[in-house]
A = this chain, B = another copy of it.
Amino acid sequence: MTRLKVASKSNPNKVAGAIAGVIKDEGKVEIVSIGAGALNQAVKAIAISRGFTAPCGIDLVCKIGFIDLEIDGNEKTGIIIIVDGIK
8 Å CB interface, A39-74 against B = 39-40, 43-44, 46-47, 50, 59-66
Contacts of A40 in B (CB 8 A): 35-36, 39-40
8 Å CB interface, A1-46 against B = 35-37, 39-40, 43-44, 46
Contacts of A39 in B (CB 8 A): 36, 39-40, 43
Q: Which of A47, A50, A60 has the most CB of B within 10 A?
A: A47
Contacts of A47 in B (CB 8 A): 64-66, 79
The answer to whether B59 and A62 have CB atoms under 8 Å apart is no
Of all chain B residues, which has the CB nearest A49? B64
Of all chain B residues, which has the CB nearest A42? B43
